[in-house]
Amino acid sequence: MTVVTIIGAGSTVFAAELVTDFLLTPGLESGEFRLVDIDEGRLALAHRFAEHLVERSDRDWTVRSSTDRTELLPGSTVVISTIEVAGLETVDFDYAIPMKYGVDQCIGDTIGPGGLFKALRTIPTFLEILADVERLSPDALVLNHTNPMSMTILAASRASTTPVWGMCHSVHYTIENLADYLQIDKREIEFEAAGVNHLAWVTELRRGGEDLYPLLRERGQIPEVLEQDPVRFELMYQFGAFPTESSGHVSEYLPYFRTHPELVGQWQGKEYIGESGFYAHNWPTWRSENDQMLEAVLAGEREFPMERGGEYPSQIVEAMTSGTPTTVYVTTSNAGWVDNLAQGNALEVAATVDANGIHPQHFGSLPEHMASWVRRHQEFNDLAVTSILDQDREAAVHALMIDPLTSAACELQQIRDMFDEMVAAQREHLPSYLH
């Protein structure tokens, strides 16, 4: 029997999407969802909604839930992490304090000051969960949706013998975006991409034997197309390839677009196009609105689409169960998959999934000018994870000092002062070695 345990199921809409995907997966006619969250109210809502989805599916799945993961981990065949540690209490600090020092973030949850402090809050808890998985369900397939993805997977690879695969939809959604910009069916697109999560590069883009980049460069000259993704089109024109995260998010990974107000004004669009503080200003509201939406569905006032989405977990389980291979993009340790990126560090690369498991594919080498920025982020990730595993405060400070956006916007003492101020503001949610 397939037993899917979702830790952090209080991420209600995302948990509902994952449950829906599994209920619509061919070959998975029966199974059990086990939902875990420390927030009893949100867990109760997730449980009720999962039962609602099971009832609509007419499949033989059951739902269990608990605030204690050790009750539900034994016997799990798939464990999915979607945890958020103190996010609601800290999201304003992650944006507002760096902004005071001139570090302007749009999303700020996987890199830069916001991403670093999310890692410092989240990874210790994630490693505790992983230790329980090792002890109670050692044969489970462990899939991680928790951000910051690269640092979480790197920490897992160094602190645990359990393989953990990072799941992100950024590559999948980028190909959908490109199909829209090119005005072709996404199923016609053949591509190759590699890098680090949220800064991977689509180095090959084809339809049949035709290189689609000349057409994409033409389409990017159309104002209505360009304005949808200005930063990514600029990176394509200057670097030669399209990156795999939104204009707003990828603008945080490089020092070219957000280092002073004039630049932000030039490149910033609304929402994911680059809006300053977009995540910090909206995420608490989104969370509340999503809960209200699920309650409205349960009350019969709204519809929730029973459609299989683009997230990878159900696709992976389907391929492993049926033996029919599929390709997904995973974050994993570099074991020769990309030749000119740091070996042993986390990267994002294509993987084939079949009855024998998940198999990352050899990519070769990234063009050096792209690889150099990816390596910079691998170095940032290395310092951040070293800080957590070795309880080394200075390693975390030094990570922030080499962050591309932060180092371009601040002097060294300003970075240290920013770090100290963020620690003071978030003290109750951080490991004691940082105090």
Backbone angles phi, psi at 350, to 5 degrees: -70, 150
- Nearest-CA neighbor of 330 among 314, 351, 310? 351
Residue 251 CB contacts under 8 Å (≥ 6 apart), including other chains? 106, 231, 257, 258, 267, 274
- Per the CB < 8 A criterion, the answer to whether 49 and 33 are in contact is no
- Per the CB < 8 A criterion, the answer to whether 258 and 107 are in contact is no
Return the exposure string of 234-244: e unless at least 16 CB atoms fall within 10 Å of the residue's CB, then b.
bbbeeeebbbb
- Per the CB < 8 A criterion, the answer to whether 388 and 394 are in contact is no
Residue located via tokens 């109750």 = 428
Quote the CA–CA distance of 80 and 98 in Å, as a whole number.
31
Identity of residue 370: M
Catalytic pick from 52, 169, 369, 429?
Answer: 169
Number of H helices, E strands in the chain: 18, 13
398 is catalytic: no
67 three-state secondary structure: coil
Alpha helices in 299-347 (DSSP H): 313-322
Quote the CA–CA distance of 191 and 211 in Å, as a whole number.
10
Quote the CA–CA distance of 282 and 269 in Å, as a whole number.
15
- Per the CB < 8 A criterion, the answer to whether 274 and 248 are in contact is yes
Quote the CA–CA distance of 368 and 340 in Å, as a whole number.
8
Quote the CA–CA distance of 356 and 79 in Å, as a whole number.
18
Structure tokens at 171: 């590559």
Backbone angles phi, psi at 160, to 5 degrees: -145, 155
Q: Phi/psi class of residue 243: alpha, beta or left (left: φ > 0; alpha: ψ in -120 to 50)? A: beta
Q: Residue 1: beta bridge partners? A: none
CA distances from 93 to 114, 316, 417, 418, 430 (A): 8, 37, 14, 11, 13
The residues carrying an active-site annotation are 169
